[in-house]
Amino acid sequence: MSVAHRVRYIIVGLSGFLALGQSSAQLTDSARPETRLSAADLHQDFLILERIYKELHPGLYRYNTPPQMAAHFADLDRRLSRDQTLASAYLAVSQFLALIKCGHTHANFFNQSDAVVAELFERGGRVPFYFRWIDRRMIVTKNFSGDARLTLGTEVLTIDGTPAATVLDSLLTVSRADGSNDYKRLSNLEVQGFDKWEMFDIYRSLFFPGREDSVRFRVRSLAGKEATFAAKALTQRERESLAPKSATETKTDAALFESRYLDARSAYLRMPTWATYDSKWDWRRYLNGFLDTLVMRGADRLVIDLRGNEGGEDVGDVILHRLIDRDLPLAQYRRFVRYRSVPADLNPYLDTWDKSFRDWGSAAQDPKNADGFYRLTKWDDDSTGAVVHPSGKRFRGRVFVLVDGSNSSATFQFASAVQQAGLGQLVGEPTGGNRRGINGSAFFFVRLPRSHIEVDLPLVAEFPTSPQPDAGLVPDVRVRYTAADIANGVDRTLQAALSVTTKRPAN
């Protein structure tokens, strides 16, 4: 099965989520209307969520024992057993989902109703800069405030009086990732303009509500000088307007990738997204033409920059085909599901794009195994034991793939194939994803009827055929950044790739 099936949930419902109502910059938290939910309604939603996840979620016990999950469900039930705001309920559900330790299980921003989006996401109070977490320190990477005290490399010590480390600890409780991969959790909580909705923005406003028109900071410069001041906050619309087009809009014919030559024989390909489902741009033609040109010019080095790219379609396959001259078997995974057909009374709460997910039929092989799984064979012809076949003119130069903690789905699988087959070297920071496999491939969007909160439900668990560590991929060339690198505009990852002089091994 194509990687597209695994990650299509990321963009479902993206169109139509427009800002609604009064500008958030005109509201403080105390003035913002809040939906109140009764304990009785929330309990009904909890019972639906509990039953659906216990009966259908294939990864519920991948990183939790049954007693541990029972305790997590009980705690969620307790937290929802009182009248509360929609924001409070959304936080409780988000924290519960994060405990499952599945990167595809979350209250997906892009799949919420218009009402939830308008109330919880269309707020002001966005910090007026981009930043990274470096050794758990918030380091400014781009300044939109006009205040030089937020210049690149500055460390933000407090936000509205709360230590940045405290903000991070709170947000880590809602950050989705597979297993113990905290590199992905931290990556989720950086603000770099990679997505329409920034997890940091949304959850900080829920954990630490305050004024939406300004934010107060205490900062420390690279020279060690500290200052305390207030700056104008960004609205959500302003945040979106500052992001690269590839992060917010793909339904055009605009190019989503960019390429250039770094020198006469070194090419650079930047791929900030593989979510090309609705794009009118012919990315396959672009990639094949780009690779044809590299071969014709006799290029020696290709740098593929995947930083900030979680995944999308099987874009990487086009590249893999051009790096080999014999068949390339991919990593072996087997698929399992918890059910053969969805109980009829649950179907009204479940949306999806493929009705076959409601009834696997004979593709879910009887009998269940000792762990309660049906073996799924639906996509065995194109994934389990999958083989990439060579096509087109082969690029024989050196390949370097720039990676970071965001790479957790399609880009993780591409990076894994490159590394395991010796087709190139990974350069950068440890990836997201998990070598023990993920839950995904097909999805239901669970719509809780009383609160109108949506939660994503991956339906297929992939397990490796041999024991693997609970971790992402470790790059061949590991890179560590400092605040000074940010201040000086040093791209240490690209520098590291260009400094490698070894030849590409034959495969």
3-state SS of 250-283 is: CCCCCCCCEEEEEECCEEEEECCCECCCCCCCCH
Within a domain: 366? no
Is there a contact between 470 and 434 (Cβ–Cβ < 8 Å)? yes
Answer yes or no: do 271 and 417 share one domain.
Answer: yes
Model's pTM, two decimal places? 0.89
Within a domain: 199? yes
Expressed as residue numbers, the domain containing 256 is 247-323+394-435+470-499
pLDDT tens per residue, the chain (507 residues)?
333 333 333 333 322 222 223 333 334 444 678 999 999 999 999 999 999 999 999 999 999 999 999 999 999 999 999 999 999 999 999 999 999 999 999 999 999 999 999 999 999 999 999 999 999 999 999 999 999 999 999 999 999 999 999 999 999 999 999 999 999 999 999 999 988 899 999 999 999 999 999 999 999 999 999 999 999 999 999 999 998 765 555 567 889 999 999 999 999 999 999 989 888 999 999 999 999 999 999 999 999 999 999 988 889 999 999 999 999 988 778 999 999 999 999 999 999 999 999 999 999 998 888 889 999 998 876 544 478 899 999 999 999 999 999 999 899 999 999 999 999 999 999 999 999 999 998 999 999 999 999 999 999 999 998 999 999 999 999 999 999 999 999 999 999 999 987 665 555
- The first and second tokens of residue 236, run together, are 């959500």
Answer yes or no: do 133 and 282 share one domain.
Answer: no
Domain count of the chain? 3
Answer yes or no: do 169 and 306 share one domain.
Answer: no
Q: Which residue blocks in 311-460 are alpha helix, DSSP H?
A: 315-321, 410-420
Answer yes or no: do 91 and 147 share one domain.
Answer: no
What's the CATH code of the domain at 257?
Answer: 3.90.226.10
Rg (CA), the chain: 23
Answer yes or no: do 75 and 116 share one domain.
Answer: yes
What's the CATH code of the domain at 76?
Answer: 3.30.750.44
> Of 168, 137, 150, nearest to 483 (Cα)?
137
Answer yes or no: do 147 and 276 share one domain.
Answer: no
Of 197, 222, 243, the one marking the end of a domain is 243
Distances in Å between the Cα of 426 and the Cα atoms of 29, 413, 421 are 44, 12, 12
Within a domain: 374? no
Within a domain: 151? yes
Of 183, 208, 243, the one marking the end of a domain is 243
> Of 120, 130, 80, 108, nearest to 209 (Cα)?
120
Within a domain: 450? yes
Within a domain: 284? yes
Answer yes or no: do 421 and 456 share one domain.
Answer: no
Answer yes or no: do 405 and 454 share one domain.
Answer: no
Residue matched to tokens 């006009």 = 146
pLDDT the model gives residue 507: 55
Answer yes or no: do 304 and 409 share one domain.
Answer: yes
| Crossing angle between the packed helical segments 164-172 and 199-207, to the nearest 10 degrees | 100
What's the CATH code of the domain at 208?
Answer: 2.30.42.10
Helices (H) and strands (E) in the chain, counts: 15, 22
pLDDT the model gives residue 134: 97
Answer yes or no: do 175 and 226 share one domain.
Answer: yes
Answer yes or no: do 209 and 268 share one domain.
Answer: no
Distances in Å between the Cα of 284 and the Cα atoms of 18, 316, 319 are 30, 10, 10
Of 243, 276, 294, the one marking the end of a domain is 243
Within a domain: 379? no
Within a domain: 63? yes
pLDDT the model gives residue 246: 57
Answer yes or no: do 281 and 424 share one domain.
Answer: yes
